[in-house]
Amino acid sequence: MSFCELSGKTILVTGASSGIGKQTAIQISELGGRVIITGRNEKRLSNTFKELSGDNHIKVIADITNEDEIYNLVEEIPKIDGLVHCAGIVGPTPTKFIREENIEKLMRINFEVPVLLTGRVLLRKKLNDKSSIVFMSTIATRMPYFGGALYNSSKSAIESYSKTLALELVKKGIRSNCISPGLVNTPLIKKPLSEGQMELVDESLGRYIKKYPMGIGEPEDVANSIVFFLSDESRWVSGTNLLMGGVVQ
Ligand SMILES: NC(=O)c1ccc[n+]([C@@H]2O[C@H](COP(=O)([O-])OP(=O)(O)OC[C@H]3O[C@@H](n4cnc5c(N)ncnc54)[C@H](OP(=O)(O)O)[C@@H]3O)[C@@H](O)[C@H]2O)c1
């Protein structure tokens, strides 16, 4: 058996149509796991599906910001051994420009969706004992950047949720951990939250990149840690938050 072997495990990955979620799904399949991938964009999700190794994987197109679509997704899937929450958005917004709609949009996908999906999976008894749940946070909760107040707040909230979840699930051997990467080379780092913010994205990106002495990460750097948390090699690890990016503070 190789290190981080995932054969016999079924793992649901959200945000699997792009970036870290896509790479994670590919690596899970390469390690022998069966993946259920979900995302909104049919074409991009199908591209991920084509890149998976092995058979029996499942693809579900869903906009999981809609609670009914979360419920349908959970009904559709078989029992799982792992859940990776990669769906998320970013959007630099200086504090004085934050409006209700910005809060609702960002908190919905970054905080409420992982909370609702996890709750539903537990309620419908779709998580096997000894499963592993992985949430995506960011190193920026400890290393803030200009315009990141909303994004960082959504991730701080999910870190706190993950820790409480770990406590609640410990008797079933179900583990919950967070990964907090620094800047990773994915389409996300180029996306503004609303029109006309590209200048702000470029400006804050330029400043932020300089903070990484080892350079910025690639999706596989993060996926390597996610598959560790999904595997039995990390069976004694729960309630933690792995900071990634080589930034020594
Ligand atoms: N890249 C970084 O520098 C970095 C650093 C730290 C943490 N993170 C976190 O890592 C996670 C993945 O980021 P990434 O860089 O891989 O981003 P990405 O390449 O932009 O991918 C984001 C994924 O989220 C999905 N998504 C967004 N809104 C959705 C919705 N309403 N319903 C369903 N799916 C939705 C997208 O799928 P569709 O468009 O198909 O819906 C896409 O697959 C995020 O939580 C992010 O905050 C990223």
Decide if pLDDT at 192 tops 60: no
Q: Is residue 46 part of a domain?
A: yes
Q: How far apart are alpha carbons 48 and 241 in whole angstroms?
A: 27
At residue 249, the pLDDT reads: 76
Q: Is residue 3 part of a domain?
A: no
Q: How far apart are alpha carbons 216 and 164 in whole angstroms?
A: 30
Q: Is residue 66 part of a domain?
A: yes
Ligand 1: lining residues by beta carbon, under 6 Å: 15, 17-21, 39-41, 44, 63-65, 86-90, 109, 136, 138, 181, 183-184, 186-189
SS (HEC) of 38-91: EECCHHHHHHHHHCCCCCCCEEEECCCCCHHHHHHHHHHCCCEEEEEECCCCCC
Decide if pLDDT at 123 tops 60: yes
- Radius of gyration of the chain from Cα atoms? 17
Q: Is residue 190 part of a domain?
A: yes
- Residue type (1 letter), 44: R
Q: How far apart are alpha carbons 37 and 222 in whole angstroms?
A: 17
- CATH number for the domain spanning 23: value is 3.40.50.720
Which residues span the domain enclosing 224? 10-241
Q: Is residue 2 part of a domain?
A: no
Cα of 4 from ligand 1 centre, angstroms: 24
User: Are the C-beta atoms of residues 69 and 43 closer than 8 Å to each other?
Assistant: no
At residue 207, the pLDDT reads: 77
- For residue 80, the cross-strand partners are 127
Provide the 3-class DSSP secondary structure of residue 38.
Answer: strand
Crossing angle of the two packed helices 113-123 and 149-169, in degrees rounded to 10: 20
Q: Is residue 156 part of a domain?
A: yes
Q: Which two tokens stand for residue 89?
A: 């958005």
Q: Is residue 5 part of a domain?
A: no
Q: Of 12, 109, 152, 186, which is best to mutate to test ligand 1, by the most ligand atoms within 8 angstroms of its C-beta?
A: 186
Q: Which residue in 227, 213, 154 sits closest to 183, CA to CA?
A: 213
152-176 average pLDDT score: 98
User: Are the C-beta atoms of residues 25 and 54 closer than 8 Å to each other?
Assistant: no
Full-model pTM: 0.96
Q: What is the number of structural domains in the chain?
A: 1
pLDDT in tens, 74-91: 999 999 999 999 999 998
Report which protein residue has its CA nearest ligand 1's atom 36: 15
Q: Is residue 217 part of a domain?
A: yes
